[in-house]
Amino acid sequence: MRQLIGTHLKRIEQMCKFSFIIPIYNRPDELRELLASFVSQEQVEGIDYEVIVVEDGSTNDSEDVVSVSGLPVKYIVQENTGPSGARNRGVKEANGEWVVFLDSDAVLPNNYIHRVNEYVDNTACDLWGGPDRSREDFTIIQKAIDYSMTSLLTTGGIRGKKKSVDHFYPRTFNMGIRRELFNQLGGFRDGMRYGEDLDLSMRALENGGVSALFEEAWVYHKRRVDFKAFFRQIRQSGKARIVLNRYHPGTLKLVHTLPSLFVIFNVAVLLTLSPVLYSILLLYPLAIVVDVYTKGGSLELAGYAVAAAYVQHFAYGLGFLEEWLFPKTN
């Protein structure tokens, strides 16, 4: 293990309140911006925390980024094990009462740690999660994907909602859990590369844990930079939903089948060769255009948002059907 110590925060070997754990794989530029947002935190006096970066077998590592960050980062280098293994390794090195997981493509607003600390002090819970947002300097494709991932007109609208489906399941782009509970659960499931955060949250609730949504503890979350990468990501999410139901029978809900039904409906309508039915298909993209435009977005953004919504539905729906009909994923 390589460990680089800065001067912005004191190094804490004894128990601290928060251990922020960031797995990284070949994304030094993203990590640079995330660490800079730690340096910019306000109202953090008296809040003891540490930052742990786990370099998960990268060929383009982040050691130089960490060394000049101004933070006392615990920098751990290991062979590639995937996100679950990297996060588990980070927790082994953690001293915090709470372990907080962040994706490397997240950026913290200046009052994030202060808000998290206030929530933790005033909320009876064992694990929590916060929402994600877009930022003005994101590309138009990233903004369109953000719309698709958060809008009520897509299944993305169930993210970051207290009453979204049944229970609130925190996600690792912005998630905290008591370290004691995490260790009792055995950490993230070994070898699970997709849906591992939902699996951990489900196991926590099944074992009596209480989850909470910290609505104002949001992060800026960069999305994929093109639709091809977005499709690959969401397709895996669709497959993961079937896998999660194998581990946790009864957690599959009607809302999870909507993208697959959307795919089947669209294909069926196209095969009818009926202009009347084709016109029905136009209602959904029209609703998205109106929604984006009335919220202050440009027509260009509205067009990209339509594309992002269709990519999301088809990717998730096809992944869901693929894993259901031809199970391959453990």
For 223-238, the pLDDT digits (tens) are 888 999 999 999 999 9
Confidence (pLDDT) at 12: 42
Architecture of domain 1-130+170-224: Alpha-Beta Complex (3.90)
Handedness of CA 322, 326, 329, 330 (dihedral sign): positive
Instruction: Enter the pTM of the model.
Output: 0.89
Confidence (pLDDT) at 13: 57
Confidence (pLDDT) at 227: 96
Confidence (pLDDT) at 178: 98
Percent of the chain with pLDDT over 90: 84
State yes or no: pLDDT of 94 exceeds 80. yes
State yes or no: pLDDT of 220 exceeds 60. yes
Confidence (pLDDT) at 162: 52
Q: Tell me the pLDDT of the chain averaged across its residues.
A: 91
The residues that bridge with 100 in the sheet, in sequence order, are 20, 176
All CATH 3.90.550.10 domain ranges in the chain, comma separated:
1-130+170-224
Residue 216 CA to its chain's centroid (Å): 16
* 250 backbone φψ class: left, alpha, beta (φ>0; ψ -120 to 50): left
Percent of the chain with pLDDT over 70: 92
State yes or no: pLDDT of 304 exceeds 90. yes
Question: To which residue do tokens 């939903």 refer?
Answer: 241
Tokens of 318: 């096809």
φ and ψ at 2, to 5 degrees?
A: -100, 135
Model confidence over 42-92: pLDDT tens digits?
Answer: 999 999 999 999 999 999 999 999 999 999 999 999 999 999 999 999 999
Confidence (pLDDT) at 81: 94
pLDDT band for position 14 (50/70/90)?
confident
Rounded distance between C-alpha atoms, residue 148 and residue 144, angstroms: 6
State yes or no: pLDDT of 251 exceeds 50. yes
Contact between 169 and 215 under an 8 Å Cβ cutoff? The reply is no
Question: To which residue do tokens 């990717």 refer?
Answer: 315
Rounded distance between C-alpha atoms, residue 51 and residue 90, angstroms: 10
Residue 42 CA to its chain's centroid (Å): 24
| H or E segment to which residue 315 belongs | helix 299-325
pLDDT band for position 166 (50/70/90)?
low
Q: Name the more confident of 166 and 22.
A: 22
The angle that helices 299-325 and 283-294 make with each other, rounded to 10 degrees, is 130
State yes or no: pLDDT of 8 exceeds 50. no
pLDDT band for position 10 (50/70/90)?
very low
Looking at residues 244-252, what average pLDDT do you find? 95
Confidence (pLDDT) at 9: 41
Looking at residues 141-155, what average pLDDT do you find? 90
